[in-house]
């Protein structure tokens, strides 16, 4: 297959490598390649002759207006170009529970992206993932006040990025789902516990305070907010936090 990936970050670069190893013709493209999905620059040329497009872009700004504009404009430009080029499968990576956190501007923008894909002209698959292990440090920093990190005990079911890559690659080369699949790590864990275990492994000396009001990027969580949806038959990845931490510390 000829597969075009928009986005060359943590997930995009790994998905590109995995698909190339499987023998596919893959182009992973970003701004450095002259692509601007928000204006449509280079998009039509990039998708010409493609069988599959995988959208792994992300907004450079998380301000509510900016992130909404990014996902709406980028998605519209991609879908228009893909329809014209006869692309048969559009894949996006979204977030488990995005529709359950309307207080978060980022989550509202991801839901808007999903809705555009669902109503668009190109057969599609939506992969909704829980948070990545790689982003626990960022979650901790978002709750930091001096040398103290405020973290909610509400649960995530975090996942290793390489497990996300495995499932996204599988979906990309399969038939369009015309729907959504959820993926998650094997363990539901409170965010406070996640941060404490990360700090214990890395030697971070900051104090972690359990704070139910700490929230999560502008939204207050409960245990069901961003864990797999009951009855959704989520794909459960194999890598545990302890396994990931051991591998992380080797690098």
Instruction: Report pLDDT for 62.
Output: 85
Q: Answer left, alpha or beta for residue 12, where phi above 0 means left and psi between -120 and 50 means alpha.
A: alpha
Q: How far is CA 69 from CA 63, 90, 97, 112, in A?
A: 10, 20, 21, 10
Q: Is the model's pLDDT at 11 over the cut of 90?
A: yes
Task: Tell me the pLDDT tens digit for each residue of 64-81.
Answer: 999 999 999 999 999 999
Question: Cα separation of 35 and 203, whole Å?
Answer: 40
Question: For residue 200, with 0-12 CB atoms within 10 Å meaning exposed, 13-18 middle and 19 or more buried, which class applies?
Answer: exposed
Q: Is the model's pLDDT at 148 over the cut of 90?
A: yes
Q: Is the model's pLDDT at 85 over the cut of 90?
A: yes
Instruction: Report pLDDT for 196.
Output: 96
CB-based contact 199:85 (threshold 8 Å): no
Length of the chain: 251
Question: For residue 131, with 0-12 CB atoms within 10 Å meaning exposed, 13-18 middle and 19 or more buried, which class applies?
Answer: buried
Backbone angles phi, psi at 29, to 5 degrees: -125, 145
Q: How many CB atoms lie within 10 A of CB 102?
A: 11
What dihedral angle (degrees, nearest 10) is formed by the CA atoms of 97, 100, 106, 108? 120
The Cβ-side half-sphere exposure at 225, using a 13 Å CA radius, reads 22
Task: Tell me the pLDDT tens digit for each residue of 209-229.
Answer: 999 988 787 788 888 888 999
Question: For residue 203, with 0-12 CB atoms within 10 Å meaning exposed, 13-18 middle and 19 or more buried, which class applies?
Answer: exposed
Q: Is the model's pLDDT at 7 over the cut of 80?
A: yes
Burial state string for 34-66 with b = 16 or more CB within 10 A and e = fewer than 16: ebebbebebbeebbeebbbbbbbbbbeeeeeee
Q: Is the model's pLDDT at 249 over the cut of 70?
A: yes
Task: Tell me the pLDDT tens digit for each residue of 101-119.
Answer: 998 999 999 999 999 999 9
Q: Answer left, alpha or beta for residue 18, where phi above 0 means left and psi between -120 and 50 means alpha.
A: alpha
Question: pTM to 2 decimals?
Answer: 0.94
Instruction: Report pLDDT for 83.
Output: 98
Q: Is the model's pLDDT at 251 over the cut of 70?
A: no
Q: How many CB atoms lie within 10 A of CB 16?
A: 24
Percent over 90 (pLDDT), the chain: 88
Average pLDDT score, the chain: 94
Q: If we measure between CA atoms, which residue out of 141, 128, 113, 107 comes closest to residue 219? A: 107
- pLDDT bin (cut points 50, 70, 90) of residue 89 is very high
């Amino acid at each position: 297959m000829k597969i075009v990936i928009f986005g060359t970050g943590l997930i995009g670069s790994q998905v590109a490598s995995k698909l190339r190893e499987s023998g596919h013709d893959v182009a992973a493209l970003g701004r450095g390649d002259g692509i601007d999905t928000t204006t449509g620059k280079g998009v039509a040329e990039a998708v010409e002759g493609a069988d599959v497009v995988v959208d792994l872009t992300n907004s450079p700004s998380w301000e509510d207006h900016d992130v909404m504009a990014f996902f709406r404009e980028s998605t519209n430009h991609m879908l228009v170009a893909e329809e014209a080029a006869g692309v048969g499968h559009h894949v996006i990576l979204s977030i488990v529970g995005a529709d359950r956190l309307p207080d978060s501007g980022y989550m509202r923008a991801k839901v808007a992206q999903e809705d555009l894909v669902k109503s668009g002209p190109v057969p599609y698959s939506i992969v909704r993932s829980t948070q990545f292990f790689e982003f626990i440090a960022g979650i901790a920093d978002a709750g930091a006040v001096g040398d103290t990190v405020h973290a909610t005990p509400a649960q995530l079911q975090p996942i290793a990025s390489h497990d996300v890559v495995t499932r996204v690659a599988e979906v990309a080369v399969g038939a369009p789902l015309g729907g959504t699949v959820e993926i998650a790590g094997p363990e539901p864990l409170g965010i406070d516990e996640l941060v404490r275990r990360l700090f214990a492994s890395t030697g971070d000396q900051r104090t972690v305070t359990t704070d139910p009001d700490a929230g999560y990027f502008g939204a207050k969580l409960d245990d069901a907010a961003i864990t797999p949806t009951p009855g959704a038959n989520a794909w459960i990845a194999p890598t545990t936090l302890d396994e990931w931490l051991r591998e992380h510390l080797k690098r």
